[in-house]
Structure 1
Amino acid sequence: MNPKSNVFIYDTTLRDGTQGEGVSFSVSAKLRVAEKLDQFGVDYIEGGWPGSNPRDVDFFQQAKALELTHAKIAAFGSTRRANVSVEEDPQVALLLQAETPVVTIFGKTWLLHVTEVIRTTAEENLAMIEDTVRHLKAAGREVHYDAEHFFDGYKDNPDYALSTLEAAKRGGADFLTLCDTNGGMMVHEVAEVVKTVVTRFPDAKVGMHCHNDCGLGVALSLAGVREGACIVQGTMNGFGERNGNANLTSIIANLSLKLGYEVNCAPKLNKLRDISLFVDEMANLRPDIRAPFVGAASFVHKGGVHADAVNKVKHSYEHIRPEAVGNRTRVLVSDMSGRSSVMMKANEMGFDVDPKSPRMKEFLDELKALEYRGYEYEAADASFRLMLARFLKNKPDHFEVIHYRVIDVHGEWKDELTSEASVKLRINGEVYHTVAEATGPVGALDLAIRKALEQVYPQINSVRLTDFKVRILDGKQGADSIIRVQIESTDGSEIWGTVGASDDIIEASWEALLDSYEYKLLLDNGDGIAR
């Protein structure tokens, strides 16, 4: 391995990534993603298949106006059809009409596909590859040739698989990319084949395009680079057909931080988590908290022993500096927590707490008792902060609950059901009694408490609930099971989570609601709560 060699990053999120289940980008989202990828330092951005759908046609038309500073936009398509001249193939014409500086085409490598899928001869397939590459090169394009099913084809007939690469090379292809299209290869197999290809084509630029069907997409890509490949195709967050493509967020981090290769993204590596989250947002998907490097859980410590060690020596339980990829260390509190975990969490939240204080032991005992009763604070930082403020700082709440009530009202029609909630609060010595209706009990309670609080705290109007999760902790108890409710709220700038637990789902929801609004008031008034 040459530790100073450069590896190009070829992103196919906007084409191959969109073939994944549940993944879809609007044209405007594709344009925004392309701009972000360019800013991040990605070398090639595959925008789609011209002519395959109106969205891709629109994208390529609008992409001409993008002012990219580094990346090259690639149009994707196939070789000419069998027994049709390249000049008369309408799909090839559309590739040129996209007016991208780069065109990527795939061709058949596996004889099974040649004879049984496109149903032509081995010789005609080679001509299709060479003719198409030469035609695109003559039009002034940089041409990447994707050898589809290369590794399966090589295992079936190595001589023919290599002859397809020779055809692309004769046509003038700038890159020869080897594809594990079915995602079924093992690392040692890919390494051996790539080594053979690099030896056979010493002057060629060899690339990798791997899928993740065996969970090895990243490993296969890195193995190919170590054997001489100089360009890696993949998708942000591993989007793609079936189990997805090789995940570029992992590939880029490993190439730069672990293997010592030069990648043009390296200067912006601390933006890796940001771009991962951005792509998820544009695809309207929830981020994978366990994604290597960029996931919210990547540098989380829960056990007391781990948290204590990290507090003393960061790299004792962290393989890189989280900040290198735009992430951060987090400490979770649970019934597994020790004093060190709680201290780190309290300090992270801005509390100056004496670790030797008897109150700290009392707080830890209370925390473990609450966890045993069903509360869980890993996704409920706001409830944990409130507990710290109340327990260690003796912070009074901004309001006192006198009582609440919820009634389900059945209407004239069988499917007509309304929930009515009444809430009585004491705020600054005054009693506020409000009533509200909604289609469900939690919605009615939410409206009722809002109506009361907004009379004194108008900032409550900005709060809205963004997520509501219910979990039954022990289904064996049937209707007497403990219910945990977790609520996510936002005021437009901050996002926070709260929790409630009870054998009554309304009570659990009520507790989480109260914490959500109390936390908003603490945020706005300071009161020792760090943002």
Structure 2
Amino acid sequence: MSVLMTNRIQLYDTTLRDGTQRRGISLSVEDKLQIAQLLDEFGFDYVEGGWPASNPKDTMFFQLAKTRLTQAKLTAFGSTRRRGVFVEDDANLRAILDAQCPVATLFGKSSVFQATQILGLSLQDNLEMVEESIQFLRQHDLEVIFDAEHFFDGCKSDVDYALQVLRAAEAGGAQWIVLCDTNGGSLPHEITEYVELARRAVSVPLGIHAHNDSGLAVANSLAAVIGGATMVQGTINGYGERCGNANLCTIWPNLVYKMNRQAGRELMLKELTRLSRTVAEIANLMPDDSAPFVGDNAFTHKAGVHVGAVREFPEAYEHVHPESVGQSRRILVSELAGKSNLLYNFHNLDASSETVTELVQTVKKLEARGYQYEDAPSSMKLLVERSLGNVPSYFEVDRFHASVTKDQRMISEATVRIIIGNEHFVEVGEGDGPVNSLDVALRKALSQIYPIIEGLRLKDYKVRVLDGRDGTGALVRVWIRSEFRDETIQTVGVSRNILEASWQALLDSVDYALWVSHTVPAHLGKQSQPL
């Protein structure tokens, strides 16, 4: 059965070629192999590896990748032959053959302006280059995909010639013709119209390759499918030159869940978020929190009215189940929250109690003073559990002092004096800065009675100035991420004194570690042990 007669959409990934043209991305051979194998695992149909022989990295990748993929077709990318060169002598086409991939993707101009003004070709020369190049690779038993570059812009200026290019590709034996919105400037209704026109002009299955310069790459890709395209090219997370390529992490679930099309290995859609974040990690880029389906904010609810509805009817504010794309629902507690936000996160709260009402007001007041609990869930949990009387007092702080001295080197020292039971403990810590030295001194003092605290480690520290108009006297918010056993602890502190704000966040991290480990408070010198 031909692809046109099926309900299946072919997923063609070009992260390893087009995606690497994004500023800030540089993948090693091992990076590219990891991504290729991941795409293979998720059931992508084509994985475009790059330009063979364009650089030693891509040459080595093609040599190694051939034995790594079990389902996806490894694809080599290149251009049609150069002007005035026989196909047999064209270095680019020879390199594609040498790569020994089962599939080749060739691009050629389908716009009068691009062919004549950019390449300086006659229109006939351009048609011959397209047909002869494809025919040459087909004679060597390669599956050939033709990317009709600038197709939609070409249609707007000379639709007859744009269609002639498609017919030349078909005459050469192309098995796929992919229509490219290379400049990313087309609108969805234009995409659908010209895809339908192309379907009437050729019998070869069509694909779409969209760029995101107008913010419409995903919409245009889906519009092309509506028009009859059965292949979608794109990249993971929409990586690509300028504003990026069509984001396959958005397109794939829309195809399956919204358009009832088959695509990829559909069982793996439940791990889509893992795919997105793993590729981001390999590319050394921060994940986009606001990305549809896979971003941290995709199923995060903050407004109290929304949360109240979602608790009973998730579909009120969620278009798919979070689990269907490897996500989970997240309810924030903030100044916009109501009782529903607290009740969703803390099941031990009594909805009818005054405690909940008081907690909501407390959170609103604290956030008005600069606190923010969205990224400090450990401080939020302590606030709630303390209000219920569930967090004991493990120690008291008598005083602390921090200093920075510049001698032959910069020296940061801190002294911490705490009271546990009836005993006083004084310790000095030295670190890379005053906050680090306070952390060292505090843990040294506590670990004498609470040795479990030695497992607490500060991992990240951030400061935000909340009102820069006050200069060095501005209110600051300090956020600390610590690790304890297998748990991440995130705490917050706010003050006009950066050390005091840091101290608040440090104390919360210590209290949380002791509480979550079920440590019994020490009294009258008795040492405590975890239960």
2:7 corresponds to which residue?
Answer: 5
Q: Does 1:410 align with 2:406?
A: yes
Q: Displacement of 1:441 after TM fit?
A: 1.9
Q: Residue 281 in 1 paired to residue 281 in 2?
A: yes
Which aligned pairs between 1:85-484 and structure 2 lie closer than 5 A?
Answer: 85-201=86-202, 203-347=203-347, 352-412=348-408, 416-427=409-420, 430-457=423-450, 460-484=453-477
The 1:131–1:259 alpha-carbon spacing in structure 2 relative to 1, beyond 3 Å, is same
Q: Which residue of 1 aligns with 2:525?
A: none
1:69, CA displacement in angstroms? 3.0
CA distance in 2, matches of 1:3, 1:402: 78
| Cα distance change on mapping 1:463 and 1:283 into 2, 3 Å | farther
Residue by residue over 1:140-192, the C-alpha shift from the partner in whole angstroms, topping out at 9 and shown as x without a partner, is: 21111111111112212211111111111111111100111111111111111
| 1:502 corresponding residue in structure 2 | 495
Distance 1:172 1:492 in 2: 61
Could you tell me how far 1:461 is from its partner in structure 2?
Answer: 4.7
Q: Residue type matched to 1:516 in 2?
A: S
1:25 maps to what in 2?
Answer: 27
Q: Is the 8 A contact 1:252 1:265 kept in 2?
A: no
Query: 1:256, CA displacement in angstroms?
Result: 0.8
The aligned amino acid for 2:165 is T
1:397/1:184 CA distance change after superposition, 3 Å: farther
Q: Distance in 2 between matches of 1:86 and 1:517?
A: 70
> What secondary structure sits across from 2:177 in the alignment?
strand
Displacement, 1:80?
1.2
Relative to structure 1, is the Cα distance of residues 209 and 395 closer, same or farther in structure 2, using a 3 angstrom cutoff? same
SS at match of 1:183: coil
Aligned-partner Cα distance in 1 for 2:5–2:349: 47
Whole-Å separation in 2 of the counterparts to 1:428 and 1:28: 56
Question: How far 1:400 moved relative to its partner?
Answer: 3.3
Q: CA separation in 1, counterparts of 2:21 and 2:450?
A: 48
Shift of 1:463: 4.2
Cα–Cα, structure 1 residues 33 and 522, in superposed 2: closer, same or farther, change >3 Å? Answer: farther
Instruction: Please list the CA deviations of residues 390-445 of structure 1 after superposition, one character each: whole Å capped at 9, or x if unmatched.
Output: 22243114443332211111224xxx433222222344654432222233222222
Partner-residue secondary structure (3-state), 2:429 = strand
Quote the Cα distance in structure 1 between the aligned partners of 2:351 and 2:25: 48
How far does the alpha carbon of each residue in 1:466-518 deviate from its partner, in whole angstroms, 9 at most, with x for none?
43322222223333321111122334743342111111111112222222333
Any conservation in 2 of the 1:126–1:164 contact (CA below 8 Å)?
yes
Structure 2 unaligned spans of 5+: 521-531
Looking at structure 2, the residues matched to 345 and 263 of structure 1 have their Cα atoms a distance apart, in angstroms, of 36
- In structure 1, distance between residues paired with 2:83 and 2:493: 65
- Counterpart Cα distance in 2 of 1:359 and 1:470: 31
Kindly indicate whether the alpha-carbon contact (under 8 Å) linking 1:46 and 1:75 is maintained by their aligned counterparts in 2.
yes
Q: Distance in 2 between matches of 1:40 and 1:428?
A: 57
Structure 1 Cα separation of the partners of residues 459 and 5 of structure 2: 47
When residues 526 and 149 of structure 1 are mapped into structure 2, their CA distance, relative to the original with a 3 A threshold, is farther
Stretches of structure 1 lacking an aligned partner (at least 5 in a row)? none
Residue type matched to 2:429 in 1? A
Q: SS at 2:504's partner residue?
A: helix
Deviations 1:78-120 (A, max 9, x none): 1111111111111211111111111111111222222232222
Matched residues in 2 for 1:99 and 1:464: separation?
51
Does the 8 Å CA contact 2:66/2:74 hold for their aligned counterparts? no
* Count of equivalent residues: 517
Specify the alignment match of 1:42 in structure 2.
44
Q: Deviations along 1:318-362, whole A, 9 cap, x unmatched?
A: 111111111111110011111111111113xxxx22111222222
Q: Which moved more, 1:384-393 or 1:249-258?
A: 384-393
Pick closer, same or farther for the CA change 1:82–1:427 going to 2, 3 Å: farther
Partner of residue 521 from structure 1, selected from 510, 514, 518: 514
| Residues 453 and 40 of structure 1: CA distance in aligned 2, closer, same or farther (over 3 Å) | farther
Is 449-458 or 277-286 further displaced after alignment?
Answer: 449-458
TM-score, length basis structure 1: 0.93
Per mean C-alpha deviation after superposition, the further-off stretch among 462-471 and 477-486 is 462-471
Distance 2:147 2:217 in 1: 16
Deviation at residue 458 of structure 1 after TM alignment? 5.0
**Cα distance, 1:92–1:330 mapped onto 2, change above 3 Å:** same
Q: State whether residues 74 and 101 of structure 1, in contact with CA within 8 Å, keep that contact through their aligned partners in structure 2.
A: yes
Give the AA of the match of 1:77.
G
Query: 8 Å contact 1:3–1:261 — kept in the other structure?
Result: no
Identity of aligned residues (%): 47
Kept in 1: contact 2:209–2:221 (CA 8 A):
yes
1:233 aligned counterpart, secondary structure = strand
C-alpha deviation, 1:238, in angstroms: 0.7
Amino acid at match of 1:263: A
CA apart distance, 1:289:
0.8
Q: Is the 8 A contact 2:218 2:246 kept in 1?
A: yes
